[in-house]
Amino acid sequence: MRPTQRHSRSPTAKPDPMIVLITLLIANAGTTMAQQLSIGTEAIKTTPPAIVSLLHAGGMTPSDWITILTLAYLGLQIGLLVPKYLERFRDWRERRRAR
């Protein structure tokens, strides 16, 4: 077996200040990014239960809210399409009478 060599510094050698600064900045940035990532991850994990809780706050279940929103959407679509089709029907009727 080979004896392990230990790297020893001379007592007068000091680390390069620029390398120390860069190392500290990298370590701090990694910690900050990890904290932001964990906060974001936890926020995403709690979003669906929070939405369900808010939907129940109105005294209605999420399926009731979806039904109401669907009916409102259909009402808007019908309200926007009916005048368009009535105008087409009137134009068709006038063309037919003109023959």
**Rounded Cα distance, 84 and 88, in Å:** 6
Q: How confident is the model at residue 23 (pLDDT cuts 50, 70, 90)?
A: confident
pLDDT at 10: 57
Q: What is the pTM of this model?
A: 0.38
pLDDT at 72: 93
Domain residue ranges of the chain, discontinuous segments joined by +? 17-59, 60-99
Burial annotation 28-65 (CB, 10 A radius, 16+ → b, else e): eeeeeeeeeeeeeeeeeeeeeeeeeeebeeeeeeeeee
pLDDT at 41: 73
67 has pLDDT over 60: yes
70 has pLDDT over 80: yes
